[in-house]
Structure 1
């Protein structure tokens, strides 16, 4: 499920992207309103998270233009402007929801999923890759109907791979998801987590494949 995060504060954008990726979302980022409007037009995400105070076109201008053009991507405004009047202006401009900073990540995730359901862009049925399935509501992985016991880091890695099965995910991205804000961890540590996860998938018909120079991908094995 791809989200677009529009935020010009680099540290905040990076931290929020990592947090959402750990919760199973795929997150694209941009830092100004001009790029945001172009993404909404030409590569629309399932949902956009939009800050109001961004360079170029500000958030309200992005909202007005997007809705005037008939673009129907659900948009959640994230902003430090918490006054009632600001919320009314944002909602009247076309926002689907409004969350004042600082916000709780659990509440943000709940609002995202509620909007996706409301717009028919979320499917609560388990995702599947062969005998492996992921249940979004509980966050649990099942292998042939049995809960797959995973460490938090293995869980984060598998979620990131599950978002794009059959497609490579760069090691750099996986490292950021599995080891967020842990600057003392060496980059090679992602290989250790991948090795342990691969062992847990042996014999399941699902493989974690290393693509040298590209990263890792999750795929269903071909029948023998």
Structure 2
């Protein structure tokens, strides 16, 4: 991503696509985001979502995707978006539908917000997701941003994880932030609350929310792919998680 693209992600002029079948909710969200300075496109379902993405409006910087949609559900569309690439996706879920939120995170959603929501919270979460999607600042000595562990290499400048056999492993924005938090604090027990903070998660979330557990589970499956392979992230009952592998800067 070039410098202009980074500025576009960090500025409030980013292009957001709202996919919501409820007309009143769709217009409410659109007005709120436009007042916050964002460029907003709207879609009522998956068909219109793809039409917008292939139109002159261009690919959005973030998709705000309702779970309950006519035709293809939001979760089905999330799967297809993840097959297409790494566009940040925030899910809109009904209050109390924990399984929708957990499944959305499992499928690679970057965040979720439950309806009804506080306008300021929605804008704050969108800004946080866009911030995480922007590339890390490149330091003068790029070698200092290569973190190695158990044969793996994380290039923090390029936000790229390479496996011991040389394959590049795709990470969501949340997974990258979580892994970086562990690598910067190896051997230290990190509570869920600390991980939410260190990994740039949203402010005000219950530290017992399952978001962290789901993301840790997804990250484990990527860096501990073989059954019986050494555990890199251990659960400390009642305390949180600890990264046990030795970490070095290359």
TM-score in terms of structure 1 length: 0.50
The size of the alignment, in residue pairs, is 120
Structure-1 residue corresponding to 2:24: 11
- Find runs of 4+ consecutive structure 1 residues off by over 6 angstroms: none
Aligned partner of residue 34 in structure 2, secondary structure: helix
**1:25 equivalenced with 2:42 (yes/no):** no
1:60 to 75, 78, 100: 75
**Does the alignment pair 1:44 with 2:64?**
no
1:110 aligns to what? 124
CA distance in 2, matches of 1:111, 1:87: 15
SS of residue matched to 1:57: coil
Alpha-carbon distance in 2 for matches of 1:18, 1:30: 14
RMSD: 1.7
Partner secondary structure for residue 70 of structure 2: coil
* Structure 2: stretches of 5+ with no match in the other structure: 1-13, 136-250
Q: Distance in 2 between matches of 1:16 and 1:68?
A: 26
Task: State the Cα distance separating 1:83 from its structure 2 match.
Answer: 2.8
User: 2: CA distance between counterparts of 1:62 and 1:78?
Assistant: 13
Report how far residue 56 of structure 1 moved.
2.1
Once the two structures are superposed, the pairs formed by residues 123-202 of structure 1 within 5 Å of their partners are none
- 1:112 alignment partner, SS class: helix
Contact preservation (8 Å) 2:63, 2:88: yes
Structure 2 vs 1, CA of residues 31 and 96 (structure 1 numbering), >3 Å: closer, same or farther?
A: same
Normalising by structure 2, we get a TM-score of: 0.45
Paired with 2:122 and 2:90, the residues of 1 have a C-alpha distance of: 9
Match of 1:100 among 93, 110, 114: 114
What does residue 185 of structure 1 align with?
none
**Cα displacement string for residues 2-45 of structure 1 (whole angstroms, at most 9, x for unaligned residues):** 10000111111111111111111111000001222444466311
Contact 1:37 1:62 in 2 (8 A): no
Q: Is the 8 A contact 1:77 1:97 kept in 2?
A: yes
How far apart, CA to CA, are the structure 1 residues paired with 2:81 and 2:121?
25
Residue of structure 2 in register with 1:91 after alignment: 105
Q: Equivalents in 2 of 1:68, 1:2: separation in Å?
A: 21
CA distance in 1, matches of 2:98, 2:114: 11
Match of 2:163 in 1: none
